[in-house]
Amino acid sequence: MTSSLPDLEAILLVGGQGTRLRPLTLGTPKPLLPTAGVPFLAHQLARARSFGVRRIVFATSYKAAMFEPAFGDGSAFGLSLEYMTEETPLGTGGAIRNAAEALTSGPSDPVLILNGDILSGHDIGDQVRTHLARQAAVTLHLTEVDDPTRFGCVPTDASGRVTAFLEKTPNPVTNRINAGCYVFTRSVIDSIPRDEVVSVERETFPGLIESGEVVLGYADRTYWLDVGTPAAFVRGSRDLVLGRLGSPALPGPAGEHLALDGARVSPEAKVQGGTAVGARAVVGAGASVVGSVLLDDCVIEPGALVTDSVVGTGARVCAGAVVHDAVVGDRAVVGPGNELRHGVRVWPDVALPERAVRYSSDV
Ligand code: GDD
Ligand code: MG
């Protein structure tokens, strides 16, 4: 269900380096990585638009110049987009404060803030209405995860008020975590110091709670994923292709696989489990590709096996190679007989030579 609000403004945080996603993020910032056939952010933009967001300010830093060519003025999404760049990264709070210079909202208006690496099925309109009804300073979307140590741990009281914000604590007090989508009352953003490195998670939220401001939790159990690691990135793309999370930006019907223009998939290949096949990519006869992201112009030779992996732009997985839970960088070549498993990452342009299969009698 979508419930829209009139003319909501948003800030999208997209300045992080995406370190955990290297080598994919060496040339492309995380929010622009092709995910289910389109730049990751296209899914977030289309979804925000469906809830009544009309204007979004991008808070950019790492590879800042790549965002405007990708999204322009936003008219293709029915949005108006602005780009604000930090000379040096200012952290999440400093980035929000810097981007706020481009907002048109008044001091008491709600402003939506989105981490730029989240897929979420939650009702943004309901989150904003809850914020307004409770006259909160900030309302945080919360979700539950199995391992809260990698996130912001957010306990609440019976009324839904946030009682503490514990960023990446080794001793989480609840599985409920910060899901990376906030509603701020505009004046609260303006109280963040300007041109300084500030973390909303480590400074702003704990400070607001300490000083008795109403910081509210908006908890739900809809689809939620941070795509910040290779395994999560692959899962996000797969879930979008399979339709587990609906996205207005999906460039085709949901199904077992999605193939972009010019892709050539042999009728004798098995391509399923939500695999996205990039433009002009080739999958040969007898190859099996399951739950993976094949970027543009890559080649999966006949008989190769690729599962839960990313194969970079122009890369090649040769006949008889196995790529499972791995990342193959752009233009890299995985020679015949190689087996990549357990999160292995091959850097761009690396060529792994043919590996002769050894039999026990050889040893
Ligand atoms: N402009 C700008 N400048 N953006 C930044 C900066 C910066 O200095 N630092 C980080 N960002 C952006 C990233 O691009 C990303 O979209 C967002 O801020 C969050 O950064 P991540 O690096 O992805 O943080 P995280 O995933 O470890 O933790 C955050 O998200 C979790 C939910 O996924 C925190 O907000 C946690 O509390 C939260 O649980
Ligand atoms: Mg993240």
| 3-state SS assignment for residue 119 | strand
Residue nearest to atom 11 of ligand 1 (CA): 16
Do both 44 and 155 map to the same domain? yes
Q: Which residues contact 84 (CB under 8 A, 6 or more apart)?
A: 57, 58, 59, 60, 98, 99, 101, 102
DSSP conformational letter for 142: E
Mark whether 214 and 311 lie in a shared domain: no
Residues 269, 332 share a domain: yes
Question: How many folded domains does the chain comprise?
Answer: 2
Give the pLDDT confidence of 282-323 residue by residue, as tens digits. Answer: 999 999 999 999 999 999 999 999 999 999 999 999 999 999
For residue 209, which amino acid is it?
I
Segment 208-236 shows an average pLDDT of 97
Burial degree of 356 (CB within 10 A; 0-12, 13-18, 19+): exposed
Pocket of ligand 1 (CB under 6 A): 13-16, 59-61, 86, 89-92, 95, 115-118, 151-152, 167, 177-178, 180, 201, 226, 228
pLDDT of residue 2: 46
Residue 183 structure tokens: 């509603």
Looking at the structure, tell me whether residues 221 and 322 fall in a common domain.
Answer: no
How distant is the alpha carbon of residue 83 from its chain centre?
19
Residue 235 lies in a domain: no
Q: Take residue 207 and report the two structure tokens written for it.
A: 């400070």
Residues 288 and 181 in one domain: no
CA dihedral 68, 73, 77, 83 (to 10 degrees): 50
Q: What pTM was computed for the model?
A: 0.94
Which residue in the list 30, 63, 168, 270 is annotated as catalytic? 168
At 94, the amino acid letter reads: G
pLDDT value at residue 154: 98
More confident residue, 354 or 133: 133
Task: Give SS3 for 21.
Answer: helix
Q: Per-residue confidence at 363, pLDDT binned at 50, 70, 90?
A: very low
Q: Are 84 and 101 in contact (CB under 8 A)?
A: yes
The string of pLDDT tens digits covering residues 275-288 is 999 999 999 999 99
Q: Catalytic annotation on 63?
A: no
